[in-house]
Amino acid sequence: MYCTAIHGHRGARGHAPENTLAGFETALRFGVTALELDINVSSDHRIVIHHDPRLNPAITRNPNGTWVTRFDERLYGMSVMELQQFDVGCLDARTLYGRGFPHQRPVHEQRIPTLPQLAEVLRRLGADQMLLNIEVKIDPRNPDWSPPPSKFATLLLKEVDEIGWLNKTWVQSFDWHVLQAVQDQEPTVPTGYLTSEQPDFNTVAVNDLNTSPWLAGFDPVNFNGDLALAVQQAGGRYWGPNYLDLTEPRVQRAHRAGLEVHTWTVNDPTDIARLSRWGVNGVTSDYPDRARFELARLGVALPSPIVGELFPGA
């Protein structure tokens, strides 16, 4: 059986506010192999840890405590100082998104963090060797939402190097253009090629020209329909498919191509166990505790939890 890594999705979104310092500490306490986090870029060209290109009203409150009501405030149009005025430590239970995580515990006064702030917390907790699995949020269909792929890669690699995490970072993205830029600029950093083939989000589907805007020309139609082979030819270290798109033969084909398979976002214990039996190398989960329980039952070696001081209110 393969060793199955646990990637704490946005920290531990099922239990703590996503992409926050409190959320990452929660994931460390459960015991994860890696912290999965999302990044955007601010108007002053700083990397900020946040999933959406805009402020999400379901998780964002104004400085006066009221919920943000509009979804049109782009992160790329605000400075780090402006962004860190907002509180992203609670879910609005009135929203569909908020109701999706009934076990998430609020931690008030959580700000959109930067990479140096995360590094400071990791060092304080003695987690200096923790792997960061950084997802670059860039959409080729909306180029004005972020810097171009090459510039985005440059900003990210510079900041990761400055905090001393260059050799402890993976970079993944649905936009394969930015992964190509990372490989060109820093070939030692492992890259993960994310895909989704679901009806509501399909990055593999081609247009009339037999190309996808996401895949940087490495469309599987050019590789006998083999998506894993496309990732291999693009230079990826691993393939990151939606777990709903996986079958055991697809996992095996990826391994034959020399790729690891780290799948997302897996929250049901039955799915976690099945995927581990299939030989996936890692699962990304909102509930790292569930993943640990199931993998322990299967005899998978697990990382030790990191124990540190609690955040105020956590």
The residues of the chain scoring below 70 in pLDDT are: 1-2, 71, 307-314
Tokens linked to 23: 């959320």
**In this predicted structure, what is the pLDDT of residue 307?**
67
pLDDT at site 306: 81
Give the integer Cα–Cα distance in Å for 111 and 2: 38
User: What kind and span of H or E run contains 96?
Assistant: helix 96-99
b/e for 111-140, b at 16 or more Cβ within 10 A? bbbbbebbbebbeebebeebbbbbbbbbeb
Sign of the Cα pseudo-torsion (213, 215, 216, 221, in order): negative
What pLDDT score does 308 carry? Answer: 56
Residues 6+ apart with CB under 8 A from 113: 19, 20, 21, 48, 49
What is the structure's pLDDT at 3?
78
- Assigned token pair, 185: 């600029």
pTM of the model: 0.96
Closest C-alpha to 267, from 13, 2, 26:
13
Confidence (pLDDT) at 210: 84
**Chain center to CA of 300:** 23
What superfamily would CATH give domain 5-41+131-297?
Phosphatidylinositol (PI) phosphodiesterase (3.20.20.190)
Which ranges of 186-307 would DSSP assign to H, the alpha helix?
227-234, 248-256, 269-278, 288-297
Give pLDDT, residue 313: 43
pLDDT of residue 309: 47
Please, which residues have CB within 8 angstroms of residue 243's CB and are 6 or more apart in sequence? Answer: 263, 264, 265, 266, 271, 275, 283
- Nearest-angstrom CA–CA distance, 207 and 235: 24
Per domain, the residue ranges of the chain are 5-41+131-297
Q: What pLDDT is stored for residue 226 in this prediction?
A: 96
Instruction: For residue 155, report the phi and psi dihedrals to the nearest 5 degrees.
Output: -60, -45
